[in-house]
């Protein structure tokens, strides 16, 4: 059975992204609200559909929900750009893409607080979801609109998607 590594080290940052310390995944996800950086990539195809990943049931945060195409933590000693390339390769098997920076913002839930660096890209190549995911598929804007608020998407995705597409 897969599980998240609670000893994995994350950088701690201020709201501008400056590194101010370090903590473990377990410390960052235990309600401490230690601000740590993450990357998101929204992968669109040329038809305007958005690829969403299905989070596996074993994840420590939002298991079983549909989420951003790619999402992952920035590891200690890694830049946002390095983390973006690593996570996209690990989660979807994509190595050749042109990310566009959209925004960054602070997301806070009951368990954690993240500085989210948001990117998007258009990609029509093959996607090979890893065993870190429960698969994924492309969704039309209409399908996304119809399912907002029904508990199938992560709260973070629902909050963020309006920054990416017109709902």
3-state SS class at 159: helix
Parallel, antiparallel, or unpaired for β 136-139 and 9-13?
Answer: unpaired
Give every CB contact of residue 79 below 8 A, 6+ residues apart in sequence: none
**Which domains, and CATH codes, for the chain?**
9-161 (3.90.79.10)
Model confidence at 141: pLDDT above 50:
yes
Rounded to the nearest integer, the mean pLDDT of the chain is 93
Higher pLDDT, 40 or 111: 40
Joined together, the tokens standing for residue 49 give 């559909």
State the average pLDDT over residues 8-33: 94
Res 134 pLDDT > 60:
yes
Q: How many residues does the chain have?
A: 167
Q: Give the separation between CA 114 and CA 85, rounded to whole angstroms.
A: 19
**Model pLDDT for residues 23-43, shown as the tens digit of each residue:** 999 999 898 999 999 999 999
pLDDT for the residue numbered 4: 62
User: What are the tens digits of pLDDT across the range 46-103?
Assistant: 999 999 999 999 887 889 999 999 999 999 999 999 999 999 999 999 999 999 999 9
Phi, psi of 49, deg, nearest 5: -80, 150
CA distances from 76 to 37, 80, 98 (A): 10, 11, 24
Residues 134-140: what's their mean pLDDT? 96
């Amino acid at each position: 059975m897969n599980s998240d590594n609670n000893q994995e080290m994350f950088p701690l940052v201020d709201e501008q992204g400056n590194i101010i310390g370090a903590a473990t995944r377990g410390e960052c996800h235990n309600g401490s609200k230690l601000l740590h950086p993450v990357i998101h990539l929204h992968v669109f195809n040329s038809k305007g559909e958005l690829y969403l990943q299905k989070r596996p049931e074993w994840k420590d945060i939002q298991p079983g929900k549909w989420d951003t195409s790619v999402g992952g933590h920035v590891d200690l000693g890694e830049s946002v750009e390095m983390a973006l390339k690593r996570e996209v390769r690990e989660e979807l098997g994509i190595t050749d893409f042109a990310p566009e920076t959209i925004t960054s913002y602070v997301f806070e839930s009951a368990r954690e607080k993240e500085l989210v660096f948001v990117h998007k890209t258009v990609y029509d190549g093959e996607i090979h979801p890893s065993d870190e995911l429960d698969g994924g598929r492309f969704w039309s804007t209409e399908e996304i609109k119809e399912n907002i608020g029904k508990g199938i998407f992560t709260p973070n995705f629902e909050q963020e998607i309006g920054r990416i597409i017109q709902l």
